[in-house]
Structure 1
């Protein structure tokens, strides 16, 4: 449990939260919280193990088994030494990832890096700060209580599970205080977040206040989140139907009514074989970028803390999510994003930008130097001057539907050559989310050496500071992905051999593909009309 001393102005009561963080990003979220909430009391605890001790044995077994294959067995052993990842072994879809933790390597094999971890937060920071300034938290609930360790295996029957939940709730009155009082405290915290972040009209806030006082009926929804749901002997709906009267206590005044679509408040039950938690969702469902709490969505800017006046670039911006995040940062900064997919930069991007700017003006009516805009461009030929970007943050296109291996091999060197050109020497930072870190790190080395080498010594003319600051795996919507963090070094950018011809070749091939798609659509339309 990490703890920061309370400031002289802080309150004595600590509010309790529970956040779902993508497995692999919990340390980044922890560092961000410690920085942003440094003036307040703060306690942090990761619930459950992040990496299993048994994975080390499995990793060693995998390595020994694959020692005979010398083609792609150990491809980056020295590249990440001493950083977040100690080694990477790749054999088709079988991954083995090495971590460095207190000088002791632990390992995770295929299938283990998935899902989310629970981050328990206790702080006296004001609700508006948690709601509007802490950007590292995705789905978050006002915590009623958490019980761990417990024993609720998937093999339990429905009756046994209901009895276990009832026993845990009943035990609160004997050990840690009344469950109803804890629920009331979470409900009060929820309403403070409603006032701070939901941007509701005054009449709607007054209506919710009346419902909390019991003069009108509150509408609520009960949700359940659990991992490996298919292994259980009962459905989540069956569990909720039997435990609703247990986890949602009776209130004074008008009784609460269930409404699955037009609800005021959502009570969330998080179930795990070794832990159980109950809380109230702090964001209205329609305002969540990702509709499922189970994904543990996290804003992409969490690993790129900004300095005042920074210029932020997203060369593959899509509709512009990352540039628009800059509008809500603590520091004043300028963000520019662009994409070559013009269909993605049309009405959707324009509407997204308009809504983001309107929300910023509403939340921060005073003068601000924050600015964000979007453009149409080719990431292999950016219309930007040399050494003008402080931070490059991007969710690179990955997956078979985005770019094949052949396309990556042809496009990545061109893109990263441009990234190195526009980043400021020494101070420029690069934060990337990618589907496979191997080609990314290989291209970064190629920028320094001009060769496909992974072990060359650093020189004064290096363009990229290697090894990377950090490379770590994360779970993104059930897919294994990687975050790569690296700094720009002092060396001058080098233009790749035949750079312009290679860019023209990539652009020409892209145009031919677009023409073929357009012809296919035209042919289909003519066929429909003729029929």
Structure 2
């Protein structure tokens, strides 16, 4: 992408030139009253594509299409409803589609293919996508930084802005705040230092647009690499628009998504993944907030439900639930002091953020330190249990899970309401979990499994239903009460059989 034209290129097609001109003033307010319809793409946690499509239908009222490339959905949106896409809880990143090719015929040789990608840049219908990108910048309250150090901060011009960033904005790094704040103050004080303000507002108009191209490629039949595609396509985009390439402090990120024969060109609408929205104190196994949302929707929380996370870690699951499904009450607990402290700090972070906005800061959540195998919770008092169980890699061990999982499932069955209670459990240790679940067959029944990608690991989200059996009167209770010696022996037998 570092290639650059030797001189000014000829103007592009008439359909592209207006958008190129309007996008060169990214700080300006939107003046267009025309409503256009575009396709927006979203990356979502792998395995929860259908959940994301359901949320889009529920909140925006349109049907979403699930991509062949796992982890992506596409849906139409009109520019007057653009702010609604930032309210989605199940999506990681958003982008507006410039063009989509379902069956792109790549050339056999690498040179021909890369040349074709270069020629493609000047033929794409950029107009609507660039208009949406410009409107998107005026709708969002900027964080004041990018990954890589972009310090451009823009003033919001819409009443919907506060709603958009209510639960999604991140804490700004203190080292970059002064420059961003000074810019915002200059725009917010029209009665003082007007001449300085005029000069500052005029400056962005002469600054060149900075951009980068990011290529995401999947498939084994391509003659080129992702870097080569991004470099050559990016060079053509640079020559066509006369933008300046910058890998870190960019204004526009052009996306080149290639999945086998499917090619999608888009422009990013988010600067960093929305999955980091709730967490300020991270742990070694902190779950993505978007994955937490998918797990919560799987169990369908209802008003007044008591929801328990017995191994809460940093509190990502109960925090997401307390914010999005706030008619339920959440109890978060862990047996590690550090995990409990992180959860408390994350709750305080959300409460402070709400208080700073003048909103009610209370959350329906409480935090406890406890032993997962001996919970200080009344029998049959919990409606839903939802947790991320230790995989035996960064936390715990595979060997320890053979004792931990059956004990956990038994104690969860004790506190969960018979007949109506549910559990949503995430684990990558599938063999151990299956054996533990088979031992607890009289207490739990598996309804559904969603296979997800967690940090590159193939894991399962298991939806369980509590049977109507009364705890203490099932063969599972007798089996477990025989003691740890027999449990260890059974574990060894299982290992030999496997």
Q: If the length of structure 1 is used for normalisation, what is the TM-score?
A: 0.63
- Alpha-carbon distance between aligned partners in 2 of 1:224 and 1:191, rounded to the nearest angstrom: 26
Matches within 5 A, 1:490-509: 490-494=468-472, 496-497=477-478
1:299 alignment partner, one of 264, 279, 291: 291
**Alignment CA distance shift 1:286-1:264 (3 Å):** farther
- Alpha-carbon distance between aligned partners in 1 of 2:203 and 2:385, rounded to the nearest angstrom: 45
Residue matched to 2:205: 214
1:138 and 2:92 aligned: yes
> Which segments of 5 or more consecutive residues in structure 1 lack a partner in the other structure?
1-10, 50-115, 173-177, 450-462, 507-531
> Which segments of 5 or more consecutive residues in structure 2 lack a partner in the other structure?
1-33, 142-160, 173-179, 188-199, 278-286, 488-498
1:333 alignment partner, one of 315, 328, 331: 328
- Alpha-carbon distance between aligned partners in 1 of 2:261 and 2:289, rounded to the nearest angstrom: 23
Residue matched to 1:65: none
Alpha-carbon offset, residue 446 of structure 1: 3.1
8 A Cα contact 1:417 1:447, kept in partner: yes
8 A Cα contact 1:152 1:272, kept in partner: no
The CA deviation string for residues 436-495 of structure 1, in whole angstroms up to 9 with x for no partner, is 44443443443343xxxxxxxxxxxxx43x3x2211322222221111112223332238
Q: In structure 2, the residue corresponding to 1:313 is in which secondary structure? A: strand
1:443 and 2:443 aligned: no
**Alignment CA distance shift 1:382-1:478 (3 Å):** same
- Aligned pair count reads 394
8 A Cα contact 2:121 2:240, kept in partner: no
8 A Cα contact 1:19 1:140, kept in partner: yes
1:244 and 2:260 aligned: no
Alpha-carbon offset, residue 360 of structure 1: 4.3
- Alpha-carbon distance between aligned partners in 2 of 1:289 and 1:429, rounded to the nearest angstrom: 27
1:17 and 2:45 aligned: no
The CA deviation string for residues 220-257 of structure 1, in whole angstroms up to 9 with x for no partner, is 4432222368x865543333232225446866xxx754
**Alignment CA distance shift 1:211-1:279 (3 Å):** farther
2:246 alignment partner, one of 234, 253, 259: 259
- Alpha-carbon distance between aligned partners in 2 of 1:286 and 1:472, rounded to the nearest angstrom: 22
Residue matched to 1:408: 401
**Alignment CA distance shift 1:128-1:315 (3 Å):** farther
1:357 and 2:351 aligned: yes
**Alignment CA distance shift 1:424-1:302 (3 Å):** same
Provide the alpha-carbon RMSD of the alignment.
Answer: 4.0
- Alpha-carbon distance between aligned partners in 1 of 2:75 and 2:409, rounded to the nearest angstrom: 38
Q: In structure 2, the residue corresponding to 1:433 is in which secondary structure? A: strand
Alpha-carbon offset, residue 399 of structure 1: 4.1
The CA deviation string for residues 131-151 of structure 1, in whole angstroms up to 9 with x for no partner, is 23x222122223233222213
1:386 and 2:379 aligned: yes
Residue matched to 1:487: 465
Matches within 5 A, 1:161-172: 161-172=113-124
8 A Cα contact 1:151 1:273, kept in partner: no
- Alpha-carbon distance between aligned partners in 1 of 2:486 and 2:478, rounded to the nearest angstrom: 14
Residue matched to 2:54: 31
Q: In structure 1, the residue corresponding to 2:331 is in which secondary structure? A: strand
**Alignment CA distance shift 1:244-1:435 (3 Å):** same
2:269 alignment partner, one of 282, 286, 289: 282
2:312 alignment partner, one of 317, 322, 330: 317
1:148 and 2:102 aligned: yes
The CA deviation string for residues 511-531 of structure 1, in whole angstroms up to 9 with x for no partner, is xxxxxxxxxxxxxxxxxxxxx
Alpha-carbon offset, residue 416 of structure 1: 0.9
- Alpha-carbon distance between aligned partners in 2 of 1:227 and 1:329, rounded to the nearest angstrom: 34
Alpha-carbon offset, residue 332 of structure 1: 2.9
Residue matched to 2:129: 182
**Alignment CA distance shift 1:264-1:169 (3 Å):** closer
User: More strand by proportion, 1 or 2?
Assistant: 1
Q: In structure 2, the residue corresponding to 1:304 is in which secondary structure? A: helix
Alpha-carbon offset, residue 386 of structure 1: 2.4
Q: In structure 2, the residue corresponding to 1:162 is in which secondary structure? A: helix
8 A Cα contact 2:309 2:332, kept in partner: yes
8 A Cα contact 2:96 2:268, kept in partner: yes
Q: In structure 1, the residue corresponding to 2:98 is in which secondary structure? A: strand
Alpha-carbon offset, residue 432 of structure 1: 1.5
Alpha-carbon offset, residue 265 of structure 1: 4.2
The CA deviation string for residues 10-49 of structure 1, in whole angstroms up to 9 with x for no partner, is x974442112234432223223333333xx3x13222227
- Alpha-carbon distance between aligned partners in 2 of 1:278 and 1:401, rounded to the nearest angstrom: 37
- Alpha-carbon distance between aligned partners in 2 of 1:368 and 1:269, rounded to the nearest angstrom: 41
The CA deviation string for residues 378-402 of structure 1, in whole angstroms up to 9 with x for no partner, is 2111222223322222121114454
Q: If the length of structure 2 is used for normalisation, what is the TM-score?
A: 0.67
Q: In structure 2, the residue corresponding to 1:260 is in which secondary structure? A: coil
